[in-house]
Amino acid sequence: MSTATVTLSTTTVYPETSASAFELAAELGYDGVELMVGIDPLSTDVDAIEKLSDYHGVRVLSVHAPVLLVTPNIWGTDPWDKLKRSAEAALQLGADTVVVHPPFRWQKEYGAGFEAGIRELNRTTGVIFAVENMFPWRSRVGSLQMYLPSWDPTDRDYDHLTLDLSHASTAQQHSLDLMHEWGDRLRHVHLTDGRGSYKDEHFLPGEGDQNAWELVEQLGRQGFDGHIVLEVSTRRARSRHERAEMLEEALTNTRKFYEKGLVRR
């Protein structure tokens, strides 16, 4: 029976580097890592990441494309080239999934062809492109729709989706509802949490309003066999030891609740 893998995003160790994520993933027993391209200079060097993966014996199982607001020039400026390079990186590293955000509203041409383009990449590259749920940008004075064709992928024509619990909280949605609505289109999970703030908080799972552990249990009950990725902020950690304790507890609980769901199938 196929089961989910529990992996560590390289963003979790910030302000440490991607190298630290590999070290901690090996030390704590994660099944692999998700490489966030652009989080630091090392993350953009695929050959160096491959050596790091081999050295620590930690697989790269997914790649997050450099499509953030803070990575406009990583791997060029053409968004389709970025996605193609992400697929090439995934294949070189042995990963099977590329996570991608929907286009920003000023990327009109890219946005107009995004759904068809993602379908074509899924058909031709040999990796899964899983589009991530985002959120309206909110402030005390209102909200802005910053993504095309939408921040919510529920009603869009995507084959595979990534569920980010912190993004759902920021959008004032419920991740359990999204999981049920998406059905078998759900292929990838960013396990984190939020408390409904207009900020994208990325708390540890269980610290917010998304019923994170209930969701993980239901993933087990449904036989979800994709990647469950810890994508959290540990910047409040006062030391490497404290960061490791946070991530070890999250790993233990993720496996516990997923296995509880398997037992109840």
How many angstroms separate the Cα of 98 from the Cα of each of 31, 34, 129?
Answer: 17, 9, 5
- Residue 138 is predicted with a pLDDT of 74
The token duo for 143 is 């909200």
Per DSSP, 204 falls in state P
Total structural domains within the chain = 1
pLDDT average, residue stretch 209-222: 98
Beta-bridged to residue 36, according to DSSP, are 64
Asked if residue 71 lies in contact with residue 104, where contact means CB atoms within 8 angstroms, the answer is no
Percent of all residues in the chain with a pLDDT value above 70, rounded to a whole number? 98
pLDDT per residue over 174-198, tens digit each? 999 999 999 999 999 999 999 998 8
Q: Is the confidence at residue 144, as pLDDT, over 80?
A: no
Q: In this structure, what CATH number is given to the domain that contains residue 73?
A: 3.20.20.150
Q: Is the confidence at residue 1, as pLDDT, over 80?
A: no
Q: Is the confidence at residue 265, as pLDDT, over 90?
A: no
> Is the torsion defined by CA of 221, 196, 201, 162 positive or negative?
positive
**Dist CA 163 CA 187 (whole Å):** 8
Question: b/e map of 155-166 (b: 16 or more CB within 10 Å)?
Answer: eeebbbbbbbbb
Rounded to the nearest angstrom, the gap between the alpha carbon of residue 134 and the centroid of all alpha carbons in its chain is 11
Q: Is the confidence at residue 127, as pLDDT, over 90?
A: yes
- Residue 145 is predicted with a pLDDT of 81
Asked if residue 77 lies in contact with residue 121, where contact means CB atoms within 8 angstroms, the answer is no
**Dist CA 255 CA 159 (whole Å):** 27
pLDDT average, residue stretch 80-108: 97
Beta-bridged to residue 64, according to DSSP, are 36, 99
Asked if residue 229 lies in contact with residue 188, where contact means CB atoms within 8 angstroms, the answer is yes
pLDDT per residue over 9-64, tens digit each? 999 999 999 999 999 999 999 999 999 999 899 999 999 999 999 999 999 999 99
- Residue 253 is predicted with a pLDDT of 98
**What global pTM score does this model have?**
0.96
By DSSP bridging, strand 97-100 and strand 137-139 are unpaired
Per DSSP, 63 falls in state E
Q: What is the per-residue DSSP string for 229-240?
A: EE----TT-SSH
Percent of all residues in the chain with a pLDDT value above 90, rounded to a whole number? 92
Tell me which residue range forms the domain holding 150.
5-263
Asked if residue 103 lies in contact with residue 147, where contact means CB atoms within 8 angstroms, the answer is yes
Q: What is the pLDDT of the chain when averaged over all its residues?
A: 96
- Residue 140 is predicted with a pLDDT of 67
